[in-house]
Amino acid sequence: MKKENVLSLSDQSKAVIFGSLLGDGSLKIHKGYANARFSFKHSKPQEEYFFWKVGMLSEISQGSCVFKQAPSGFGTKEILRYQSMTSEALTDLYRLTHRSGHFLVRRTWLNKMTPLSLLVWWLDDGSIVGNARKGVLCTDGFDEQSVKRLSQYLKVVWKVNAHVGTVGSKRGGTRSTYYRLWFSTEELKKFLRIILPHFKTASLLPKMILLYRDPELLQRWISEIVTLSGLPEQTVKMFVKEKQEKWKQYRE
């Protein structure tokens, strides 16, 4: 076995890791190591968000924790990858969230999540869809029971209702069914109000912007984003304008 690092793990790092495990992150114990390490990756356009995450994980990072990878077969963008040092503290989280090497969605650790965890989950896998006033969390990697457990967790702990819906996909001649969490406008606003105080990565503002045809309603939501996030109103309005141009056919 290779020599391991003795590292502490702050509440901040735990929150980011829990949220990432529901999104783009993973905990693994690699061959030849006694303890786990945490990793995640994002494409080049999400660089600001990627390095924000890295900065939140300083106590488990080192100089060589960030790598660049060539585009995968599913895209043309360069990939940024983060890999932490190994640590007993990460192994504790691995044991909490995994069983027999498999990641499990369980209330025993979901109850440890914070608004920061929810923010990371949303920025990893959440999108505003429909008429630009509804939301979805793409939980495609989880089975139906796990997604139902996530829905129940959001309802009980955060008072946010997200219903479980299915989407179909056909790849390589095989059709698959995936389960996702869907938010109505009012439930999405509840959710976003929880996470906005921790939101600092302006490049991902489109994930926070709901569009309204009524200028007064639109301005109200802009004001909420500004008040809760602390981002400049000018910046928010710039992203609103960009999103409006992409959503010319959104419904009232």
Helix (H, G, I), strand (E, B) or coil at 73: coil
Q: Are strands 25-28 and 174-183 parallel, antiparallel or unpaired?
A: unpaired
- Each residue's pLDDT tens digit, 12-67: 999 999 999 999 999 999 988 999 999 999 998 999 999 999 999 999 998 789 98
CB 164 within 8 A of CB 136: no
Q: pLDDT value at position 64?
A: 82
Fold of 11-101: Endonuclease I-creI (3.10.28)
Q: What is the mean pLDDT of residues 131-139?
A: 94
The domain segmentation of the chain, as residue ranges, is: 11-101, 115-246
Question: Torsions phi, psi of 134, nearest 5?
Answer: -125, 165
Interatomic CA distance for residues 67 and 203, integer angstroms: 21
Q: pLDDT value at position 122?
A: 98
Check for a shared fold between 11-101 and 115-246.
yes
Reported confidence tier of residue 134, pLDDT bands at 50, 70, 90 = very high
Fold of 115-246: Endonuclease I-creI (3.10.28)
Q: pLDDT value at position 36?
A: 96
32's CB contacts (< 8 A; 6+ apart) are 1, 2
- Each residue's pLDDT tens digit, 158-205: 999 999 999 887 666 677 899 999 999 999 999 999 999 999 999 999
